[in-house]
Structure 1
Amino acid sequence: MIITSRKNETVIRSRRLLSEKKIRDREGLFAVEGFKLAEEAVKAGMAIEYALISVGAAEKIPEAAGLLEDKCTVYTVSNDVYQSISEQKSPQGIFIAGKVLDKSENLDRILSNDKILMLDCVQDSGNLGTMIRTAEALGIQGAVLGEGCADPWSPKTLRASMGSIFRLPFSQLSLLDVIDRAREKGFAIYAAMLDKEAQKLGDLVFPRKTAVIIGNEGHGVAPQIADRCGKLYIPIKSAESLNAAAAAAVICWELGKEKSL
């Protein structure tokens, strides 16, 4: 049966899951669009609650139904109904709602690794997702999202992460608490700063167990956090500073290299 009404209960629910954080939080679900992200979620073992596939997508991407039909209930909707749900101008016509994982218990797993990224009040969802994607790509083994960070399960974050959010271990915790626990596990911790008195990235040889903190897009790492860490800076030639996601990419590249004490 094809759903053709925009007032259908599942259609309304899907629209609200995409657009309203409070609904996602209440239901414990994330929502994303597109075959690639649906495929990444399934590959990562995420529990899928249900899926919507438009008539057009069912014809153009027949493998989508095969990917999802044994994982969850799949609803077929008319093209115009799907368009009314989507936040995209030219949607593929594939939507999934999946169960959010409780990442708070991941910290011990993260701290059992050697190289981790900590984020302090990174508020832009696109930046957050890009940082998670970059960290995974460059061999960083986990991330900690401090207070004030964007919602890691928002559709924009998930799109920017291109599925890395499903795979890279991360926790959402106070960085002040995590710094203490990380030190107990032998981590050296550095805050990325606009401070030429700090240690220069490229000259610094990172200890085997290292965490680096990237701060807020406008204000950097909070003083109460930076004061408890070593400090490093990225030498740049002319611009005043780098975008937070670009800075994270440069640091992750250096951090992911094999050289270490």
Structure 2
Amino acid sequence: MEYINSLDNNTVKKIKKLKQRKYRELNGEFIAEGRKFLDFSYEPNLIVLKEGVENEENIAPKLDRFKCRKLIVGDKIFKELTSQENSQGVILVYPYCESSLEKLEDNIIVLNNVQDPGNLGTIIRVGDAAGFKDIILTKGSVDVYNEKSVRSSMGSIFNMNIVYMEESELLKLLKERGYKLHVTALEKNSIEYTQMKLQEKNVVVFGSEGNGVSKEMLESADETVIIPIFGSAESLNVAMASGIILYKVRELIKR
């Protein structure tokens, strides 16, 4: 393992830059923080440990699984790199996950301008748990490699095929490939999610937290879907709504 004790070190500077989307996209790398990520098999490009963590009994065997470069840094440097108040002393730098439009399965999640990174990470986790493999985000949505999105996904980001597309190109693709669009929206003709009628190929669309789905997405919907509110709450968080609807879709698929 290498020991670094200078904030002017090029690797330290690079990691700090990866906190910005433009540098993540430029380098094709992203940051994940926390010891849980040492349990996943996805190979990082770099592991950074706060000095002393490398000697902990339950950490060393996990580090031995990975062939990548490993750095040890002092507390001062680690504080410059961490995004968490109570950090566990482990930061990993990963290459972007592979993504492809060629391997889309028959049931897809579409996120239309979702902006909150925590919501995105949770939806990735829920989608993975419900057996979905594909998420398409319209361009303008939050970056999937935002540190909060990665952390909220709890490793499910490594299991999903996640693609960004322009909305017009996405709608054209879905039509050409014969997907039925189930769009979540509060419209007069919206049906309760329990009444969805699935076809062989289906897309479930969730909109942004503040504005819902776009006009173009709404106009392209084959059916609009709602979750009924029985109490006094105005609405449901998009991540929570995705969990309710995606598990219902999974139940309908099994029938």
User: Does the CA contact (< 8 Å) of 1:192 and 1:221 recur in 2?
Assistant: yes
153-162 vs 76-85, greater mean Cα deviation: 76-85
* Structure 1 ranges of 4+ moved more than 3 A: 258-261
Displacement of 1:24 in angstroms is 1.5
Q: Is 2:224 the partner of 1:231?
A: yes
Match for residue 98 of structure 1 among 86, 94, 97: 94
- CA distance 1:26–1:202, shift in 2 (3 Å): same
**Normalized against structure 1, the TM-score is what?**
0.88
Which residue matches 1:168?
160
1:217 aligned onto 2:209: yes
The 3 A distance-change label for structure 1 pair 232 and 67 is same
Task: Output aligned runs, 1:124-139, within 5 Å.
Answer: 124-139=116-131
Q: Which residue, out of 100, 103, 107, partners 2:101?
A: 107
Q: Flag the 1:184–1:93 CA change in 2: closer, same or farther, 3 A.
A: same
Q: 1:240 aligns with which of 229, 234, 238?
A: 234
How do residues 1-261 of structure 1 correspond to structure 2 at under 5 angstroms?
1-17=2-18, 19-40=19-40, 43-44=41-42, 46=43, 48-60=44-56, 61-68=59-66, 70=67, 72-101=68-97, 103=99, 106-110=100-104, 113-229=105-221, 230-238=223-231, 239-259=233-253
Q: How many residues align?
A: 250
Please report how far the alpha carbon of residue 259 of structure 1 lies from its aligned counterpart in structure 2 after TM superposition: 4.4
Secondary structure, counterpart of 1:256 in structure 2: helix
Contact in 1 for aligned 2:133/2:159 (Cα 8 Å): no
Residue identity over aligned pairs, in percent, reads 28
Q: Distance in 1 between matches of 2:21 and 2:160?
A: 22
Structure 2: where are the runs of 5+ without partners?
none
Do the aligned residues in 1 keep the contact of 2:109 with 2:205 (CA within 8 Å)?
yes
5+ unaligned residues in a row in structure 1: which ranges?
none
Q: Distance in 1 between matches of 2:183 and 2:195?
A: 16
